[in-house]
Amino acid sequence: MGNVQKKGITSGSFAELARKHVDIEAFKAQHSSLEQFTNCVIQTTSTEELYMILSYSRKTVNQTGDGHFSPMAAYHKGRDMLLILDVARYKYPFHWLPRMTVWDAMNKIDKETDETRGKHVDIEAFKTQHSSLEQFTNCVIQTTSTEELYMILSYSRKTVNQGRDMLLILDVARYKYPFHWLPRMTVWDVMNEIDKETDETRGFMMVRKKIS
């Protein structure tokens, strides 16, 4: 981890690490094509069951730094642009990039590997409005009963009281909130809050650990 924090991680190592936890399909830009990339973008943004992580050079998109990983969340066909959910939000907010610019950025050679960068695609997602409290509870029990599943929650933050029947939340914004317990019913309620961007409820994702 110390080496990763100092030098970062290559696309291949990222995919290898991810395969220990989820099913993932990785593509190097040099072994792919613009048509395949575009088809994957359309496929990913047409379903709630796939996610795409881009590996690209920041230099090509006029940002500081070089090699970077971030998920792609949406595709605007009319403007031919991709919505990048930059993981370094302290540095760059979520932003749109032209599809061709992203393709060019993925085709830059990674000095560590002498190969191009690329994309990584897969997960099982649920919207609470299309799910039920029983299904959610069963997924919680299933996830915490095995080392092969992980659950990621999408919810609206609320002030809550401590109590029993609680879930341990590993908040990714640890600089803001440490890991904390929330009542299961409260989590269900906050996942049912409407997301103003989509006019739909939030939800949860079941991530299956890949069995080697």
The model's pLDDT over 135-192, given as tens digits with 9 standing for 90+, comes to 877 777 777 777 666 777 776 554 344 446 788 888 877 777 777 788 888 888 888 8
Closest Cα to residue 29, out of 107, 82, 115? 107
Average pLDDT of every residue of the chain = 75
Sorted by where each starts, the structural domains of the chain and their CATH numbers stand as 2-121 (3.90.70.30), 124-208 (3.90.70.30)
pTM, whole model, 2 decimals?
0.47
Gap between the Cα atoms of 40 and 36, Å rounded: 6
Residues 19-24 have a mean pLDDT of 71
Give pLDDT, residue 209: 55
Closest Cα to residue 167, out of 151, 156, 189, 183? 183
Q: What percent of the chain has pLDDT over 90?
A: 2
Q: How many residues does the chain have?
A: 212
* pLDDT at residue 121 is higher than 70: no
Residues 6+ apart with CB under 8 A from 167: 140, 181, 182, 183, 184, 187
Cα→Cα distances 114→28, 32, 107, 108, 165, Å: 12, 16, 11, 10, 51
**Which two three-digit tokens encode residue 9?**
């991680």
Backbone angles phi, psi at 191, to 5 degrees: -75, -20
Gap between the Cα atoms of 90 and 71, Å rounded: 16
